Amino acid sequence: MADSSMDIVSKVDRQEADNALQQAAKELTTRFDFKGTDTTIEWKGELGVELTSSTEDRVKAALEVFREKLIKRGVSLKALKAGDPRVSGKEYKINCDFNAGISQEQAKKIGKLIRDEGPKNVKTQIQGDELRVTGKSRDDLQEVQKLLADAELDFAVQYQNYR
């Protein structure tokens, strides 16, 4: 019988993030507490978002609205890195970036965790910005998923190519 395998990745569903951004933008234009503050949210580049407002507290509130929409759309907040509010002319801006891919050190951290605390017959292999996990049975792979869910990782993980 062939070994079972899965890939551990850290990706952001761009469509869900875009939906959350559109919902946040709509709420920012209709909510009473944002009237007259010229608060906007828009994409900057492939995985960057910029929030702009006339006051610092309104731009922070807009970031919270965006975070709420991301949670509702199922996008992990661990993937979003928001900067501090900064003054740009008469406006305040916050730049946010979505992290995609698992770095080498993060992959090594996951691999060590699986070797130390996971099932003994499971092997890990780093493949670019993914981590391939192979085991004798699917139960072992599910045990690895539970182990990673219980671990306090500082980045979001998803599972693909589960075979």
The verdict on 72 and 140 lying in the same domain is: no
State the CATH number of the domain containing residue 34.
3.30.70.990
* Range of the structural domain that residue 34 is part of: 14-98
Q: What are the structure tokens assigned to 142, written together? A: 């599910």
- pTM for the structure as a whole: 0.84
| Same domain (yes/no): 21, 78 | yes
Hey, what amino acid is at 47?
A: L
**Is 103 a residue whose pLDDT tops 90?**
no
- 101 pLDDT band, cuts 50/70/90, is confident
Instruction: Identify the burial level of 50 via C-beta atoms within 10 angstroms of its C-beta, where 0-12 means exposed, 13-18 middle and 19 or more buried.
Output: middle
CATH code at 113? 3.30.70.860
